[in-house]
């Protein structure tokens, strides 16, 4: 597989953008790992997922429990190795090319108003495409996602 989607947030909060992506991935019957860099981010995402979409509940857990390998969505700051089909990296969390190649999909969500996150996403794009991963860059335009760039795998 080896495809990573980059989501450049400009008008929507991370939590608001993440919920529909997680819901769609769950609809594909994918196990999802949401990877951040800090415990504070994981706690904020945990609260957002508990509130969930208005019409449903997003089943999830925080890594470190005895049932990690049963969670449909696992929040973590590291690669847990639980066999997720989709990793959603936030807050500049790292993704390795070999890891992306094993996934059905990987996603990088970054706040375009934060220069450090934007630069980190650019570096991830370079590193992952050089590793042979296919990549798509999506930007928010007038409240919707528009694909701005695509690199084929290989």
* pLDDT for 45: 94
* pLDDT for 89: 97
Residue 60: CATH number of its domain: 3.40.50.10110
* pLDDT for 104: 94
Distances (CA, A) of 129 to 61, 143, 153, 154: 31, 27, 7, 8
Block means of pLDDT (10 residues each) for the chain, length 154 residues? 91 91 94 96 91 76 90 91 91 93 95 94 96 96 92 86
* pLDDT for 124: 96
* pLDDT for 108: 98
The number of distinct structural domains making up the chain is: 1
Tell whether pTM > 0.85.
yes
Q: What is the CA radius of gyration of the chain?
A: 14
> Which residues constitute the domain of residue 53?
3-151
- For residues 52 and 124, give the distance between their C-alpha atoms in angstroms, rounded to a whole number: 29
- For residues 147 and 32, give the distance between their C-alpha atoms in angstroms, rounded to a whole number: 23
* pLDDT for 58: 87
* pLDDT for 65: 85
* pLDDT for 55: 66
């Amino acid at each position: 597989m080896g495809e990573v989607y980059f989501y450049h947030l400009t008008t929507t909060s991370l939590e608001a953008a993440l919920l529909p992506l997680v819901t769609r991935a769950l609809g594909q019957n994918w196990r999802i790992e949401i990877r951040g860099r800090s415990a504070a981010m994981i706690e904020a995402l945990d609260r957002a997922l508990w509130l969930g979409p208005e019409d449903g509940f997003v089943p999830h857990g925080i890594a470190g429990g005895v049932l990690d390998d049963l969670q449909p969505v696992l929040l973590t700051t590291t690669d847990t190795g639980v066999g997720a089909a989709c990793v959603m990296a936030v807050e500049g969390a790292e993704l390795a090319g070999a890891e992306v190649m094993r996934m059905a999909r990987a996603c990088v969500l970054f706040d375009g108003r934060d220069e450090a996150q934007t630069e980190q996403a650019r570096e991830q794009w370079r590193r992952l495409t050089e590793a042979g991963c296919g990549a798509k860059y999506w930007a928010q335009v007038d409240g919707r996602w528009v694909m701005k760039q695509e690199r084929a795998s290989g």
